[in-house]
Amino acid sequence: MKPYRSCFRPEIEALAGYQPGEQPRMTNLIKLNTNENPYPPSPQVDEVLRHFDNDRLRRYSDPDSVALRTAIAEHWGVTPDRVIAGNGSDDILTMIFRSFTAPDLPFACPDPTYSLYPVLAAMQGAPVIRVPLDRPGFHLPADFADRVQGANLVALARPNAPTGNTFPMAAIRDLCEKCDGVVLIDEAYADFADDNCAGLLADYPNLIISRTFSKSYSLAGMRLGYAVSSPEIIAGMFKVKDSYNLDAVTQAAGRAAYLDQDYLRDNVQKIRQERDRLTAALTACGFEVNPSAANFVFAAPPDRDGEAYFRYLRQEAVIVRYFPGDVTGDYVRITIGTPADMDRLLELTRHYLANR
């Protein structure tokens, strides 16, 4: 056999690759590690799936996802040419990094944030400017907009992952004012927050807002996300997307889920309530819990040994997410589950602390 010779681009050869959260095969565990929703998707999704005409699968899906994008655009009060849909918001992020980063077009983000961003930048061979968040609290530094000057793309997750906190609207506006490049506000968790950046779109044509159906719509397994921006940016993103990036079932079921805003609101309300209860209970146990506007909390146990707490919970079949590292290693990220899930987590936590 001819010996293998790597033909990968040097950037790809050197790439460590993104580490997604564990998707364990074991059943009977409480899975709180990838910010999924503990409640089922809207009953409207059941309807679509039950009545879907399989014969439609012979044909390619709509490459432009028109019906879905139109529903989203109507809700946002914009024209459909300002909306693009993707196979999860990770697909949207891929389009954005393909479009706006390159070896001479740097990328900037806070640190810590969603760890996929630097991986996508590395695939493009783009330099990464990381601006550490201020502690305690993981706040955006006051001079953030100045420190990301020169970046062609700046991404902020708002609420931020894995820290859960949000950033002041005034800071986002300041960034949009000062930034010469494109500003991406990743609103994967915005449905769980008190506000969002939709109102800034009218003022800033270089602003992109991305959203996902994975969290608040309980559709992580379906893979659906979207972005809203100016018609110019959306038209450019269409040029780099995979032609048929959304299958026909996802387009139909996603649209049905989106139209059921009452169901979304109810679930979000339940999760916010549990988030507040968990925050208070962990704080009472001596944890440092970063104030969260998302469907998870970032919490450091009293001895700040995030890894030991993570391992203990895992051994008891409760899976949370641990991010090794100087700053993040003190904490674990806990997805908000059902009240029963949170009761079990708290029971184990009290037992853990009593036996340390």
Interface positions with ligand PLP (CB under 6 A): 35, 88-90, 114, 157, 161, 186, 188, 212, 214, 220, 225
Nearest to 227 by CA among 186, 190, 172, 258: 186
Give whole-number Cα distances, 4 to 9, 15, 274, in Å. 15, 19, 53
CB nearer to ligand PLP: pick between 30 and 220: 220
CB of 186 to ligand PLP, least distance (A): 5
CB nearer to ligand PLP: pick between 78 and 157: 157
Q: Is the peptide bond before 3 cis (omega within 30 degrees of 0)?
A: no
DSSP per residue, 261-289: HHHHHHHHHHHHHHHHHHHHHHHHTT-EE
CB of 2 to ligand PLP, least distance (A): 38
Q: How far apart are CA 50 and CA 32, in angstroms?
A: 29
CB nearer to ligand PLP: pick between 101 and 214: 214
CB of 41 to ligand PLP, least distance (A): 14
Nearest to 336 by CA among 309, 299, 286: 299
Between strands 107-111 and 30-31, the pairing is unpaired
For residue 245, the one-letter residue type is: N
Tell how far CA 174 is from the center of its chain: 23
Residue 20's Cβ-side half-sphere holds a number of Cα atoms within 13 Å equal to 7
CB of 174 to ligand PLP, least distance (A): 21
CB of 325 to ligand PLP, least distance (A): 16
CB of 296 to ligand PLP, least distance (A): 9
For the sheet containing 83-86, what is the strand order?
83-86, 225-228, 207-212, 182-186, 153-157, 107-111, 128-132
Q: How far apart are CA 322 and CA 162, in angstroms?
A: 10
CB distance 248 to 64 below 8 Å: no
CB nearer to ligand PLP: pick between 120 and 300: 120
CB of 285 to ligand PLP, least distance (A): 26
Q: How far apart are CA 166 and CA 59, in angstroms?
A: 43
CB of 347 to ligand PLP, least distance (A): 27
3-state secondary structure of 329: helix
Residue 204's Cβ-side half-sphere holds a number of Cα atoms within 13 Å equal to 24
CB nearer to ligand PLP: pick between 188 and 233: 188
CB nearer to ligand PLP: pick between 61 and 250: 250
CB nearer to ligand PLP: pick between 103 and 132: 132
CB nearer to ligand PLP: pick between 271 and 348: 271
CB of 312 to ligand PLP, least distance (A): 24
Phi, psi of 171 (to 5 degrees): -70, -35
CB nearer to ligand PLP: pick between 187 and 341: 187
